[in-house]
Structure 1
Amino acid sequence: MADENKKAAKCFQHGNKAMQAGNWDMAVQMFSQCAKLVPHNLTYRQLLRNSTKKKYDENKKGAGTLAKTKLISLRSKVKKLKKAEEWEEAMALAEEGLLLNPWDAQLNVDVAECSMALDMGEVARFAYMEAVKAAEKDKDIHLAFAELLENRGEFSEAFKIWERVAKIDPKDVNVSRKLSALAARQATADANFEGAETASEAALHKNFAKDSRSTHGQEGDTETALRHQIRREPEQVEHYIKLARHLKQSKKYEESYEITKTALEVSGGDPGIREQLEDAELLLMKHNVDLAKERANETGDPDHRKQVAELSKEWRARRIEVLSSREQRHAQNMNVKIELAELVMQLQEWSRAIPLLQKASQDPRLKTRALVMLGKCFMYDNKMALAKGQFERAVPGLNAESQPETYKEAHYLLARVCEETGDNEKAITHYGEVLVIDYDYKDANARMEKLQAS
């Protein structure tokens, strides 16, 4: 894999120069080679597609009539290969077709479906995006893209695609129900279960965030008004969701949980609302842990401290149970994988955390964090060479100003691993990176001085 990355990097350099010179044939050739060598790299795929479009002067037709016969043959072969689940071969042929016409909607869909089968979520997302651009009126492609986004936990983006489906087919009775369900789901990018809110409660898409903002004193946002809406229209799930959210903001966690439970019954078991009920349950459990901590701190009673430990253990076990289920249902949602990995690492279940983090590291937004966590897993599992590799991949992506704690921890742990493996020169270098930021960080100074003295 390292050799393939090196080869791809050289091709990328040649492709970049060709692109700057406007030599689109050469750029396409180089970026095509990059994508073959490192298929999961999204950037290579994007550059390839953009360069191919430039090659054809953005004509939206590609090579034109001369390529039609070959494209028909390629589509037929791709279809057979997909049916036989020979995904890599199918993708290679689909990419060959896209070199002739990068605007071909079906071939882009083929790349997306192959990418999903090969666990390349970012590439699948990009391919579906290209497909819906090429086929703005194709309802089936839009629905497939929306499903992918929802499985990845990108509920706000899925919401947008369903809005487009509503315009394509205004008579579809499922659209309003789906929009309602997506509006009820709370999407997340960065939050985790350790914070004040659970993962799927962290952020709401701007299209429906207005309903969830606290606008104290305005008509319709008080608890009384919201309960009145439910009495007036008991079949409307949105009213229950709004009330549950209002109760949560008012820190009435138990009532919020009960109302969400009713919402699930009214919805007929909607999966999105079921997840909200799980989140409400976890938030209630966390609230009980916090109350127990306050009492234990006030009394200093050993029995109260024991109760805190027991409640915390139950809370973590339930979070692991919830996330394990979601990780299966939303295989493309890398946020769930990294949160689950963080929890099982607390139990020192390194072999369970490692594959989750390896997949999460494929997401550019989570790559650095996942690599640091992978390094820890390998380090604590006494696989120092593997730990060193992960930390070395992580540190170039860290910023001392925006991520000071992670920056210090990663360099410190890498130094410890280098020290353990006898690479003292590198250990000194990485301890130095830590001390420049924080001179009193753990025992970095003492360890560095000892190494320098030896």
Structure 2
Amino acid sequence: QKYNNNKKGDKLAFMKALGAKGLVKKAAMQKDWATLFKNGLEVLKLNPWDVGTLTTLAAACEELELHEAQLVYLRLALDADPKDPNINRICGRALGRRKLYDQAIACWHRVEQALPGDEEAARAIASLTVEKAIEQGKYEGEGATTKPSKVGEAGELTPEQRLLREIRRHPNDTAKYVELADLYLREDQFAKAEDILKRALEISEGNPEIRERWEDAHLRLLRQKVAEAERRFEETGRPEDQRAAEQLKKELFEKELEFCKNRVERFPNNLAYKFDLAVRYQLVGRYKEAIAEYQQAQADPKRKGLCMLALGQCFQAIKQYSLAMRHYEMAVQEIPDRDAVNKKKALYQAGKLALALKDLDGADRYFSTLAGMDFSYKDVSTLLDKIAQLRKNQEQVAEVEPAAEVGEAPVEPPEA
């Protein structure tokens, strides 16, 4: 009332409070709580909406475990600047710890509105939603009367409600967590699935199967965020939205590589995991590491042809052309006709490399086979015309420099 709720306080508050604010900052660093509170209150007398001072006082209350006082200061800071993402983040964390779920979730939603794609906000909302259901007994708890569900007949619980009730009754039964996560995944609620699997992983003390499920859910959540960020950029065209999408794609790829490496370490005899890791190495140009993994993964009969194709690409990228050609030839033989996408890719790359190495007969053979499958594939018709012209004029062949024509292999690995 003193300042008519002007959100600024005294007109000269900045000047008058300068000394006290300096003492607040110094006291916070030294953990001199008495000095901090004394001078902090002096600042608030001049400007009750000084967000920096309010959050500093709230942090001090947290250190002293004065939780109710902490919430008072945080709510005052939120009243001063209700849309500020940093204040809402701090408030969301504090309110969540106090199990004030609705208020905490509201704060995190404001963070999302200010910072679209914020990972902590999405994770917190999912986690708090599950906690609210489990710990506060939003759904039927022990001794509670079953209420009619919106889904199903009166008195019947939905699958989600039933599983949440079971988890509340048996918090160490990881099978129920996994079942609930599968339900969330089927409904594309990846944040909830990831959170519930993270809980199961902690309870199980790092069970490898649950860890793998959690990793998959985490990657699906990241892919969902990438898709949302790309849609946002398409709609707005803003550079900051493009940067956000690129950052999320980078994070996704790094996580994919990290999880693939972890799985190969945990399951060294699993050839599928070695193939996945090799693909990630190839995509970032770590060809020698990719070659080592592909050479082991080729022992899997189902992926032998794909490994041959990828090895050809990797050897071509490091300018080992004879090895590349040999692997392309084996890829053409090993990849079945029913896998048309990779079969055509192997024929095309074998033909291109043969042409660059002046093997006109080989190039003609590969391109002709490819044309028989799909005459419109890339520039195959043009390349067949080029081979015919080169045969008419052999002098032109001598002018072709293999290294210049070969170039680097496509980064795009085979499609598993």
The TM-score bracket by the shorter chain reads 0.5 to 0.7
1:369 to 301, 306, 317: 306
Q: Report the counterpart of residue 21 of structure 2 in structure 1.
A: none
Which residue is equivalent to 2:324? 387
Partner Cα separation in structure 2 for residue 224 and residue 357 of structure 1: 45
Closer/same/farther in 2, CA of residues 374 and 236 from structure 1, 3 Å limit:
same
**Which whole-Å CA distance do the structure 2 matches of 1:436 and 1:326 have between them?**
41
Larger Rg: 2
> Does the C-alpha gap of structure 1 residues 276 and 220 become closer, same or farther in structure 2, counting only changes over 3 Å?
farther
Q: CA separation of 1:280/1:450 partners in 2, compared to 1, >3 Å: closer, same or farther?
A: same
Q: Secondary structure at the match of 2:316?
A: helix
Of 332, 340, 363 in structure 1, the residue corresponding to residue 277 of structure 2 is 340
Q: What amino acid sits opposite 2:310 in the alignment?
A: M
In structure 2, C-alpha distance between the alignment counterparts of 1:332 and 1:421, rounded to whole Å: 38
Equivalent of residue 359 in structure 2, options 423, 427, 434: 423
Asked if residue 408 in structure 1 is aligned to residue 344 in structure 2, the reply is yes
* Equivalence map 1:8-47=2 (5 Å): none
1:449 and 2:402 correspond: no
- CA distance in 1 between counterparts of 2:157 and 2:378 reads 53
How far has the Cα of 1:226 moved from its partner? 0.9
The 1:255/1:331 distance shift into structure 2, 3 A limit, reads: same
Q: How does 1:119-138 map to 2 (within 5 A)?
A: none
State the shift of 1:328 in Å.
1.6
Letter of the 2:285 partner, please give it: Q
Match of 2:215 in 1: 278
* 8 A Cα contact 1:220 1:226, kept in partner: no
TM-superposed deviation, 1:217:
6.1
Q: Which residue of 1 aligns with 2:81?
A: none
Cα distance in 2 for residues equivalent to 1:217 and 1:340: 45
Distance 2:350 2:234 in 1: 37
Paired position in structure 2 for 1:166: none
Q: Select the residue among 220, 224, 233 that pairs with 1:296.
A: 233
How many pairs align? 238
- 1:315 paired with 2:269, answer no
Residue 399 of structure 1 and its aligned partner are, at CA, apart by 3.1
- C-alpha separation between the residues in 1 aligned to 2:258 and 2:380? 38
Q: Give, in angstroms, the shift of residue 426 of structure 1.
A: 0.7
One-letter amino acid of the structure 1 residue matched with residue 387 of structure 2: L
**Gap regions ≥5 residues in structure 2:** 1-150, 391-416
In 2, Cα distance between equivalents of 1:304 and 1:338: 33
With over 3 angstroms needed to count, the CA separation of the structure-2 counterparts of 1:251 and 1:217, relative to structure 1, is: farther
- Aligned equivalents of 1:262 and 1:220: distance in 2? 23
Q: What SS does the aligned partner of 2:200 have? A: helix
- One-letter amino acid of the counterpart of residue 185, structure 2: K
- Structure 1 gaps, min length 5: 1-215
Please say if residues 411 and 434 of structure 1, whose CA atoms lie closer than 8 Å, have aligned partners that are also in contact.
yes
Is 2:223 aligned against 1:223?
A: no
State the one-letter code of the partner of 1:373.
Answer: A
1:437 maps to 2:373 = yes
CA distance in 1, matches of 2:356, 2:319: 10
Shift of 1:361: 0.7
Whole-Å separation in 2 of the counterparts to 1:368 and 1:295 = 39
What's the CA shift for 1:421? Answer: 1.6
> Aligned-pair distance for 1:363?
1.1
- The 5-angstrom pairing of residues 84-233 of structure 1 reads 222-233=159-170
CA distance in 2, matches of 1:422, 1:252: 55
- 1:179 equivalent in structure 2: none
Letter in 2 for 1:279: D
The separation in 2 between residues aligned to 1:220 and 1:355, in whole angstroms, is 52
Q: Give CA-to-partner distance per residue, 1:102-152, whole Å, 9 cap, x none.
A: xxxxxxxxxxxxxxxxxxxxxxxxxxxxxxxxxxxxxxxxxxxxxxxxxxx
Shift of 1:220: 7.3
TM-score normalised by length of structure 2: 0.55
Structure 1 residue 290: Cα displacement: 1.0
**Deviations, residues 32-89 of structure 1 (Å, cap 9, x unaligned):** xxxxxxxxxxxxxxxxxxxxxxxxxxxxxxxxxxxxxxxxxxxxxxxxxxxxxxxxxx
User: What is the alpha-carbon distance in structure 1 between the residues aligned to residue 158 and residue 253 of structure 2?
Assistant: 33
Deviating 4+ runs (over 3 angstroms):
216-221
**What residue number does 1:325 align with?**
262
Query: Shift of the alpha carbon at 1:232?
Result: 2.1
Instruction: Work out the CA distance in 1 between the residues paired with 2:261 and 2:200.
Output: 24
Amino acid at match of 1:435: A
The Cα shift of 1:268 comes to 2.6
| SS of corresponding position for 1:227 | helix
Paired with 1:380 and 1:316, the residues of 2 have a C-alpha distance of 21
Which residue number corresponds to residue 56 of structure 2?
none
**Please, which of 254, 263, 268 is the counterpart of residue 205 of structure 2?**
268
